[in-house]
Structure 1
Amino acid sequence: MPVAHPDHLAARHVARRLRRSILAGLVVAGALAAGTLTAPATTAEPAADLGPQVVRTDAPPSGYSVTFRYDAPDDVEAVHIYGDWFYSQPESVTCFDCGDGRDPSQWRPGDIAATPWKTLAMERGDDGVWSITVPLPAGSFRYAFTHDCTDELATGCTLHDDPANRWQIQPQYEGAPGAVRSTIYVPESKKFPTYDTDDQAPPRPNKTGTLESRRYPSPQSTNPVGVHDLVVYLPHGYDPDRATPYPTLYLSHGGGDHSIAWTMQGVAHHILENAIQDGSAQPMVIISTDFNGLPGGNEGYVDELRDNVIPFVEQNYNVSDRAEDRAFGGFSAGGSRAYTVMYDHTELFGYHAAWSAGEREANEAQIDRMKAVTGGIMIGTGLQDHLGNIAENSQLNAAALKAAGVDIDEHNVPGTHTWHVWRPLLNHYLRELAFSTTSTSLELDVTPAGHADRVTVTATATVDAVTTSITAPTGKVDFFAGDRHLRSAPLRDGEARIRTSIDKAVLDEPVVAHYHGDDLFSGSDSTPVTVR
C-alpha cells in the first residue's frame, strides 16, 4: 500500500522543532524579564530569594545550572538535596538501579537519566540559608530536601518539599502517596545541547489553561470513603459553550503516585499546550485519575472509569460522549491498567496507550477487539527499563500484537523507569496518534473515452477525522492503480477529486486513494476499489 513520503515526514518534524525552539526562547526571555532566569555571568552571586533560580552559564557541561536556596529549621545540622538528575551511559544500565550514577556536573553526551535518586550536600551560608548550585541538562526535574540524613539514597529519611516552590495543587486526602512535590524546568542551551525537551517548557502566561482539583461521588472508593479525586486540565481558550465538544484524554499514574502526578511530575498540560501551539494537537481536556483506594485491582479501576469518572466528566465539562473522542494512557502500574482497558474494555476509548508495562499475551477475542479500534494503539517503554524486564517484555508484546495483525504504534525511547521516559512518550502520543486518525473512502466513475482501449476515470476521495473536531484534514490525496500513480489532488472541504483518461488495462489493478496527512491529522488509505 502507498505510504507517506519520508521527505514529507522529515520536513514536518523539522518545522515542529523550529517552532518549539522559538517558543522555548520566548519562555526564557519571559523568565529573564521576570527575574527568575539570570543572564550569562562568569561570577554569579547566589540568589537573594529562597527557592530555585535557573542560571544560564554558557559553560559546560550543559550551559545551565540551578541554584537552590532552602531555609531549614535552626536545629538542623545537615541538609541534602534529593533529585532525579543522576546519569549513566545506556550500556552501563544492565539491571534496575544499575549504572554509572554520575551527578549532573559529570553529564556526558548520550547519557540517560537513570535510577536511583541520590543526595547532594548543601552548604549553610552566613544568613543561615542552605544552598547549592547544580549544573543541569535540559528537562523537567523533581527534587526535595532531607534533614540530618546520612544515607546517600535517602533511605528511611523524611523528604521535605520546597516551601518556596511547592506544586500548585496538593492532595485532598490524608496519606496520599508521592512525597516529592517540587519541580523545576531547565531549557536547552544552543551552545551546549543536551536534550530536546522544549515540548515540556511552561507556556507563556497568556497561553496557559486551568488546572482544577475535583472530587466526585464514588460508591466504590475506600479512601476517601464514598468520594474520589481527580485533576482536570482545561486547555487555553476552553469554551464551556463551544458548539463542538472537546475530546478527552484520561491518564493513569503509576505505583506510589496519585492524581496530581501527571501534571506535577509529568507536566502533561505543558506538553499538550506546546503541541497545540505547534499545530500538532487539538485542544482537549485532560483527566488525571487516582487508582489508590479503589478495590478490585485493574478491573475495579475500569469499573470506576466507566461507572463514575467518565459520567462525572461528561456531565460537568463540555466534552464529547463518543468513545472515538476519548483517549487513555498509563505507565507502569497504570500501564497494566491500560492493557486491561485495551484488551478487555476496548469499547470505552478510541485511542489506547500502555507505557513501561510488559503485560500478558493477548487471546484471540482480545486481538479481535483491538483490530476493531477506530482510533489507534500505542505501546512504548524506556529501552533500559530493567524493572521486571519491562523493556524486553514490552517490545516482545508489541511484536506479538503486530504479528497477530493489530495496528500498533510502537515508540520506545532511551531511558529507565522514570518520568524522563514517560514525558516523551506522552508527547509522541499527543503529536502522532491521539485524536489524529482519519478515514478515507473512494468512489469511482468509469466512462468510455472515445477509444476502444481507453476510459475516463473520475475518482473522488472523502477524508474524515475519526474524532469530532472543529478542524478538518488538509493536504493532498494521491490516487493509485496498483503501483501506478494516477494523479494527485488537494483536499477541499474534505474531498479530493481527479478526472483522467487511461488505458483500460490499468484498471486491472485495484484503485486506492492515499491521504498524506498534515500536522494535525494522520494519513490513511481507502479500501481498494476493483473495477473489473
Structure 2
Amino acid sequence: MPVARPRLSLMPPSSRRLRLSLMAALAVAAGTLAAPAASAAPAAPLGPTVTRTDQPPTGYSVTFRYEAPDDVQQVHIYGDWFYSRPENIPCQDCGDARPPAEWQPGDVAATPWHIQAMEKGSDGVWTFTTPLPAGTFRYAFTHDCTNELATGCTLHDDPANPWQIQPQYPGAPGAVRSTIYVPASTKFPTYDTGYQAPVAKIGTLESRRYTSPLSTNPPGVHDIVVYTPYGYDPNRAKPYPTLYLSHGGGDHSTAWTMQGVAHLILENAIQSGVVEPMVIVSTDFNGLPGGNEGYVNELRNNIFPFVEQNYHVSTRPQDRAFGGFSAGGSRAYTIMYNHTDLFGYHAAWSAGGPAATQAQVDRMKSVAGGIMIGTGLQDRLGNIAENSQRNAAALRAAGVELDEYNVPGVHTWHVWRPLLNHYLRALAFRTTTTGLDVEAAPAGASHNTRVRATATVASVSTSVATPAGKVDFYAGDTYLGSAPVRNGVATMNTVVQGGLDAPVVAHYQGDKLFNGSQSAAVDAR
C-alpha cells in the first residue's frame, strides 16, 4: 500500500508495564522465572510503528527504525510535521516551525521542514520516536547532513515502507518519500482526518503508459496513474464517472495517490455512503510543450481516448471532473475559462487565477455540474490565499455560482487532501436538475384552486443511484407542501385557499449522494 499500514499498539505503556509485572509475579509463583530463556526476544522490525500513548500532546506517537550503511556517522529524519500558529505565518516558509512534541490545538502544519537527529542503537539500527497528531505524513532520511533544512542533502526513502507506485521515468521530478498515517485520539483530539485512513476494501492502483505524440519526456509516450475503485465492474450497465487530477510544480503523476492519498479519500467517502464509485486518473504535465494549453491538448487528444478505450468510463463531459493545485490549479483555471465544455465539474486549488473576461464568465455560467475554488488560508506563496479569495469573490459578483472552500494551512498536502475530500463529498458528480409541471383547476365556489404539482429530479451525471429525499413546493413565499421523491419523481396534490397568487417553484432538498436543485417558476394561475 502507498500509505503504510503501520504496526499499531493500542495498549497504553502503563497497562503494558502492569501486564509484564503480573506475568513476572505469576512466573515467580510457578517457579519458572529462574529458568533460562529458550531464545532471545525477536528484534523490533524496521519501519514505522504507531503507538497509542494516551499522553499529551496528541495521544499517539510513531517510532521509526532505519538501517543506514555502516560508514554513516549520523542519520536524521526529515518529515512534514512542523507547526505554527496561523497568525505567525507572515510569508512563505515562515512560522513557528515547532516540532510535533510542541504541538498545540489550533496549529497548522507549516513549512519549512527541519531535520531531527536519530539515535543509533546497539543493534546498529537508527531510531526516532515522536508524538504526531492525526493525519498523513511524509518523511525521509538524510545521511551525515549538517543543514537544518536538509538543503543540499540527499534524501532516502524508508526501504521498509516504500511507495507502491514509483516515478515512471528517469528524471521524473519530485523526491521519493515514505508516508505514514496516524489515527485520531479521542482523549487528545487534534485533526479530523479519518477520511484519509487506510481501508480494508481497496481497489486497483496502476501506472499506465500511453502513446503521446506531444510528449518530449519521455519522447512519444507519457504516463498516468489510474485508480479503479473497489468492486470495479468493467461490464456494469452504466459507465463510471472519471475524476482527473493534476499535481503541482516539482511533482508528477504519482503525487495525488502516493502523497495525496486520493484513492483512500475516495474509498472512505464511498464507504460513508456519500459518494458513488468513480475512476481516478492522475496526470503528468511535465514534458508537455505549450504550457497550460499544451496540457489541455494532451487531455483532449491523448489522455481521454486512452482512458475511455481502456476503462469502463463515460465519454460525456458531464461525467468528468477536474481538480488541480498550484501549477495544476493554474491549468484548472485555463480549463474552466477557455475549455469549459471538457468537464462538467471544475476545481482550482491553491492558485490565484487571472481575472476572467466576460466571455469566460459566460462560459462558466453554463457549466453543467459545478465549480469549486479553495486554498490554504495562510498560503503566502505569491499571495495565493489573498488572490484566490479575491478571484472567487469577483466571479461570484459576476454571477458565476461556485463553491468556495478554504482551510487553515499553507502550500502543502495538509491543505490539498481536505480540499479534495470536500470536492468529492460536496460537489463532484452530485449536481441535479429539477423540472416542474403544474396543473391547476377551480375547487369549489370560494375561488380555491386544486393544484397538482409534479417535480422530476434527475442527476446531471451518469449515476447508478436515483435521487431520493423530498421536494418542497412554494407559490412565491407561500409553502404549499412537500412530497417524497420516488424513482426521480415527486407529486403533490393540494387545495390552495383563495387560489394561487404567484408562480409555483419546486425545491429539491438533496440527499446523501445528490445536491439540491430548484425548478424554474411555473405560472399556473
The answer to whether TM tops 0.5 is yes
CA separation of 1:46 and 1:182: change in aligned 2, threshold 3 A: farther
1:464 aligns with 2:470: no
Q: Which residue of 2 aligns with 1:327?
A: 321
In the alignment, which residue of structure 2 is the partner of 1:398?
Answer: 392
Kept after mapping to 2: 8 A contact 1:475/1:491: yes
Q: How does 1:191-210 map to 2 (within 5 A)?
A: 191-204=187-200, 207-210=201-204
Task: Report the Cα offset of residue 97 of structure 1.
Answer: 0.8
Q: How far apart are residue 46 of structure 1 and its match?
A: 11
C-alpha RMSD of the superposition: 1.5
Offset of residue 528 of structure 1: 1.0
1:95-110 correspondence runs (5 A): 95-110=91-106
Q: Which residue of structure 1 lines up, in the alignment, with residue 335 of structure 2?
A: 341
2:170 equivalent to 1:177: no
TM-score (norm 1): 0.92
Which runs of no fewer than 5 residues in structure 1 stay unpaired?
1-29
Greater than 3 Å deviation, 4+ residue runs: 34-38, 42-47
Instruction: Say which SS state the counterpart of residue 160 (structure 2) adopts.
Output: helix
Q: 1:529 aligns with which of 508, 522, 525?
A: 522
Matches within 5 A, 1:86-485: 86-204=82-200, 207-485=201-479
Question: In structure 2, what is the Cα distance between the partners aligned to 1:275 and 1:510?
Answer: 39
Equivalent residue number for residue 81 of structure 2: 85
Give the Å deviation of 1:455.
Answer: 1.3
Determine the C-alpha separation between the residues in 2 that align with 1:136 and 1:260: 25
Deviation at 1:531, TM superposition (A): 2.4
Residues paired across the two proteins, number:
498
CA distance in 1, matches of 2:125, 2:384: 42
Deviation at 1:134, TM superposition (A): 1.1
Give me the whole-angstrom Cα distance separating, in 2, the residues matched to 1:37 and 1:334.
39
Deviations 1:410-469 (A, max 9, x none): 000000000000000000000000000000010000111122411101000000001100
Give % identity: 72
CA–CA distance in structure 2, aligned partners of residues 69 and 47 of structure 1: 11
Deviation at 1:181, TM superposition (A): 2.4
In 1, the alpha carbon distance for the partners of 2:177 and 2:321 equals 27
Mapped partners of 1:37, 1:87: distance in 2:
25
Give distance in 2, aligned partners of 1:127 and 1:91: 44
The 3-state SS of whatever aligns with 2:437 is strand
Are the aligned partners of 1:252 and 1:291 in contact in 2 as well (CA < 8 Å)? yes
Answer yes or no: is the 8 Å Cα contact 1:143–1:180 preserved in 2: no
Larger Rg: 2
Q: Which of 48, 51, 55 lines up with 1:55 in the alignment?
A: 51
Q: Is the 8 A contact 1:384 1:391 kept in 2?
A: yes
User: Please, which runs of 5 or more residues in structure 2 have no aligned partner?
Assistant: 18-40
* Counterpart among 55, 59, 62 of residue 66 in structure 1: 62
**Offset at residue 35 of structure 1 (A):** 4.7
Give the residue type in structure 1 aligned to 2:55: A
CA distance in structure 2 between the aligned counterparts of 1:373 and 1:351, rounded to whole angstroms: 7
- 1:518 matched residue in structure 2: 511
Deviation at 1:504, TM superposition (A): 4.5
Within 2, Cα distance between the matches of 1:181 and 1:519? 36
Question: Residue 480 of structure 1: CA displacement?
Answer: 0.5
Letter in 1 for 2:276: Q
Deviation, structure 1 residue 529 = 1.1
Contact 2:7 2:48 in 1 (8 A): no
Residue 29 of structure 2: aligned partner: none
1:497 is the counterpart of 2:491: yes
Task: Give the SS at the match of 2:387.
Answer: helix
Q: 36-45 vs 254-263, which deviates more?
A: 36-45
TM-score, structure 2 normalization: 0.93
SS at match of 1:305: helix
Per the alignment, in what secondary structure is the counterpart of residue 488 of structure 1?
A: strand
